[in-house]
């Protein structure tokens, strides 16, 4: 299992109305391209251009960790030409963006089986992780060849290889074997392009995440939409499975979660 470097020690953050960690399912690049009668890869290129302003808006708002879902374990079944074009694009993004992210103190971490990306791309990912490993301003996780089920399965295998007593396995112990060990769970998952599903993204970590879905396609998503998502998050009452202290007078049955 690829092991990203330990996450930077980010300072404690007590503003519960602000997510500490946001996960983003960047969807809709293909539809964006189709609307313009352009090839799908043009949508992915436009999707790459959307990333920087979104990361900047998250960090300007005080969000410590952003996790982008760039390529899932299921995305390999896309047409070979699209997969190859995406791999090339990931390499270009690393070449073009890492220095600036590093200059801004961002730690870059890859979540997923990067070894399967091919040795050149895997090496670029590794170099970006090493270069930025000591940065402490904020953390950018890129989920690439990532699937929540594969992550959990591999974590259990790893614990078995370490001879852990799996009959006594505790949730915290499993959490520490995931790519996100040491990081706060995502408080907010944003999904663009309208679908209302989690698509194998951070399955374990998103147990109590708030979910915000917008119809806006990823290439059109920007700082304005980040503001809308954060404002909506601030209005949510998070119960974590418990009953809130002072329910409104007309509260009916206890909430499930």
Footprint on this chain of ligand FPP (rule: CB under 6 A) = 26-31, 44, 47-48, 51, 68, 70, 75, 89-90, 93, 142, 193
* Contacts (Cβ under 8 Å, ≥6 apart) of 201: 23, 25, 69, 72, 143, 146, 148, 189
Query: Do residues 122 and 96 lie in contact, with contact meaning Cβ atoms separated by under 8 Å?
Result: no
Q: Please spell the DSSP secondary structure of 102-119, one letter per residue.
A: HHTTEEEEEES-GGGG-H
Decide whether 29 or 205 has the Cβ nearer to ligand FPP.
29
Is residue 75 annotated as part of the catalytic site, yes or no? yes
Q: Is 139 helix (H, G, I), strand (E, B) or coil?
A: strand
Is residue 27 annotated as part of the catalytic site, yes or no? yes
* Contacts (Cβ under 8 Å, ≥6 apart) of 39: 33
Per the DSSP assignment, residues forming a β-bridge with 71 are 144
Decide whether 106 or 155 has the Cβ nearer to ligand FPP.
106
CB of 111 vs ligand FPP, minimal distance in Å: 11
Query: Do residues 35 and 163 lie in contact, with contact meaning Cβ atoms separated by under 8 Å?
Result: no
Catalytic one of 64, 75, 95, 220: 75
CB of 207 vs ligand FPP, minimal distance in Å: 24
Decide whether 24 or 177 has the Cβ nearer to ligand FPP.
24
CB of 84 vs ligand FPP, minimal distance in Å: 13
Decide whether 115 or 251 has the Cβ nearer to ligand FPP.
115
CB of 69 vs ligand FPP, minimal distance in Å: 7
Instruction: Write out the catalytic residue numbers.
Output: 27, 75
């Amino acid at each position: 299992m690829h092991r990203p470097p330990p996450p930077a020690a980010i300072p404690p953050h007590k503003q519960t109305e602000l997510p500490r960690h946001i996960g983003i399912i960047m969807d809709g690049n293909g539809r964006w391209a189709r609307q313009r009668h352009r090839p799908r890869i043009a949508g992915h290129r436009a999707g790459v251009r959307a990333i920087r302003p979104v990361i900047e808006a998250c960090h300007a708002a005080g969000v410590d960790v952003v996790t982008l879902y760039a390529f899932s374990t299921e995305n390999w079944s896309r047409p070979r030409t699209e997969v190859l074009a995406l791999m090339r694009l990931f390499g270009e993004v690393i070449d073009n963006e890492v220095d600036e992210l590093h200059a801004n103190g961002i730690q870059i971490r890859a979540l997923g089986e990067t070894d399967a990306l091919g040795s050149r791309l895997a090496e670029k990912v590794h170099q970006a992780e090493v270069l930025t490993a000591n940065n402490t301003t904020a953390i950018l996780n890129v989920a690439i060849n990532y699937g929540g089920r594969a992550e959990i399965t591999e974590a259990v295998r790893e614990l078995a290889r370490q001879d852990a007593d799996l009959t006594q396995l505790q949730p915290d112990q499993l959490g520490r074997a995931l790519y996100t060990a040491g990081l706060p769970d995502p408080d907010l998952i944003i999904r663009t392009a309208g679908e209302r599903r989690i698509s194998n993204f951070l399955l374990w970590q998103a147990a109590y995440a708030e979910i915000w879905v917008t119809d806006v396609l990823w290439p059109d998503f920007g700082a304005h939409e980040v503001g809308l998502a954060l404002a909506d998050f601030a209005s949510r009452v998070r119960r974590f499975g418990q009953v809130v202290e002072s329910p409104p007078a007309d509260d009916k049955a206890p909430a499930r979660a």
